[in-house]
A and B are shown apart, each in its own frame.
Chain A
Amino acid sequence: MSKITPEALKHLAKLARLELTEAELAMYATQLEIILDSVDKIREVAAGDVKPMSHAVGLTNVFREDVIRPSLDRAEVLSQAPATEANRFRVPRILNED
């Protein structure tokens, strides 16, 4: 289960938008295998009909009323952007349509 091939690792890096060098790929392949070997043992736990715990709190139905609250100051927001134009965030060209 826990064998990560270089191709699989490259695919994961692409999904995660991380450009990895060959050296990084080699290092992570080895380390991930060690880590996965160690985490693999959770699969031996009999937890068939146990309910997955996705929250540490037992809260449900937490909502807000549909009320408008002030937005941020645009100048302050845009001042932190790497590039802007015409009060918008400027981003490099997009090759793939979503």
Chain B
Amino acid sequence: MKILEAMEKFDPIIGLETHVELSTNSKMFCGCSTEFGAEPNTQVCPTCLGLPGSLPVPNKTAIESTFRIGLALNCQITEFSRFSRKNYFYPDMPKDFQTSQYDEPFCVNGYLDVLVPTDEGDKTFRVEIERVHLEEDTGKLTHSGGVTGRIHGADYSLVDYNRAGIALVEIVTKPVLGTGKYAGIVARAYVTELRDLLRSLAVSDVRMEEGSLRCDVNLSLHPKGASEWGKRTETKNVNSLRSVEKAVNSEIERQADVLTEGGKVTQETRHFHEDSGTSSSGRSKEEAEDYRYFPEPDLVPVIATSAWVNELKTDLPQAPSVERKRLAQEWGFSDEEMRDVVSMGATDLIAQTVAAGATAQAARKWWLGELARKATEAEKDLSSLGIEPKHISELEQLVVEGKLTDKLARQVLDGLINKEGTPSEIVQKRNLVVMSDDSSLLPAIRAAIEANPEVVAKVKTGKLQALGPILGAVMKETQGKADAGKVRSLVLKELAVEG
């Protein structure tokens, strides 16, 4: 069932659990480095490997970052809180329990407002925050044999514990009601806004493509007007902004189908597949683990004194919404333009492009134009294309200087996505030099004139707008390298027509 049809019959309730890897120097409970991309199992010690006898000591910066996130999300900071053990067996978890928080999390009861375009204009949705707590990340599994990379059908798995023990903040929303058909957009806007907020706090890299920001989506449907909520599913591993929206919408459609056909939604975890945009069934409620939480005896309680909390409050950065207003003004963007920038998650990319020397309008043109198209094609977020803003600035400069045509510039973008180097290097490597001298252009021009006698006839009667096919043929012959203005004037000159 399509989403709009589904929304005529049902109301959705969404909930989001977001995991954020903090960008502290060292891990949560030991001194190992958190640097991304190191050789496997080189950033491990007795503590993060869970060796017998090892003990945890909490990273103060990680705790303060969690408090700051809570404060920025308008939460209450819990005065007396503790770490607890969440017990379950899994090979990527060295101690077979996760040091996390249970009934005494660091921050509770906050909210985050998000702006979403609706049929009745832009509307603010308030997403309430249930809790913000601190825990540790697990190691990284790779699966061998079977369908490459998939856990199912694999012959065995390999574990790299470099990531194990990195500080991980979990942000859990309360159930969000009343979003209707905008559920997916609200979910996406929330994660986007949260990402911008975390970035402004400088507590995390928030790179969804590297896994430093990950989302689980809870969703249930109930018949319109019903007071009782439906059974909910939890879709895990939603690892891009577009996937957040996709996961919500596809789960709405799936549940609507089940319910419409008279079936029952199973309370279960589901696993999202980034490649196909679909989810598959995981563990059901009946098989759910009993986590046997209890206060971590190796760690002592944390007391958040008001002096400490107030000190952290004083150096919180401006809220992203305030910062965005300032930027829109500085860049000369209209409200609509700015809203699109935000919803594409491009604020930071544009800011960095501008910082590298481009004009704001040019930066917006590239990121929301050609690059947005490429991201959509690749089913990725803009930030996941792997393009550095300073390269877009350089590219724009080459176009301004006439060293690249628009068409060539698009080829440079392909080169950037393929990581072929800087724009100048790509121009060289791919030989994307603009052809503008007469001698190199004339053979192609003459061939095109010869091949299009009827066009020539029209043009000679003064219909200059009929030139298209000739110009097109020249561009094709020169693989888009020809300077379009120059070609035009040369054609007219050849035909002895006044331009």
Contacts and interface: CB of A to CB of B under 8 A. Distances in A.
B142 A90 contact: no
A68 B271 contact: no
Nearest to B62: A66
A67 B44 contact: no
Interface string B172-191: 00000000000000000000
Contacts of A38: none
A94 B145 CA distance: 12
B155 A93 contact: yes
Interface in B127-158: 138, 141-144, 151, 154-158
Interface stretch (B27-35, B239-247, B447-455): B27-35
Contact of B59 (A66, A89, A91, A97): A66
Given A15-B292, A60-B300, A72-B49, A96 B154 contact: no
Contacts of A72: 44-46, 49
Interface residues of A, number: 36
A93 B300 contact: no
A52 B89 CA distance: 27
Interface in B288-339: 289-290, 292, 294-295, 297, 299-303
B108 to A, nearest CB: 19
B460 to A, nearest CB: 71
Nearest to B140: A88
Given A88-B158, A97-B282, A97-B283, A65 B60 contact: yes
B209 interface: no
A88 B58 contact: no
B411 interface: no
Task: Report whether over half of chain B's contact residues are helix, strand or loop; otherwise say mixed.
Answer: loop
Nearest to B162: A71
A87 B39 contact: yes
A90 B58 contact: no
B33 A68 contact: yes
B57 interface: yes
A77 B41 contact: yes
Task: Report whether over half of chain A's contact residues are helix, strand or loop; otherwise say mixed.
Answer: loop
B31 A77 contact: no
A98 B300 contact: no
Nearest to B155: A93
A77 B160 CA distance: 12
Contacts of A98: 88, 90, 92, 138
B159 A88 contact: yes
A62 interface: yes
A54 interface: yes
A91 B157 contact: yes
B25 interface: yes
Interface in A67-98: 67-72, 74, 77-78, 85-94, 96-98
B161 interface: yes
A10 B286 CA distance: 15
B63 interface: yes
Give me the 6 closest cross-chain CB pairs, A-B, nearest first: A69-B31, A63-B60, A88-B158, A66-B61, A89-B159, A54-B295
16 contacts: A15-B290, A52-B295, A63-B59, A70-B31, A72-B44, A74-B41, A77-B49, A87-B160, A88-B160, A89-B41, A89-B161, A93-B143, A93-B155, A94-B154, A97-B236, A97-B269
Interface of B: 24-26, 30-33, 39-46, 49, 57-63, 82, 88-92, 138, 141-144, 151, 154-161, 236, 269, 271, 282-283, 289-290, 292, 294-295, 297, 299-303
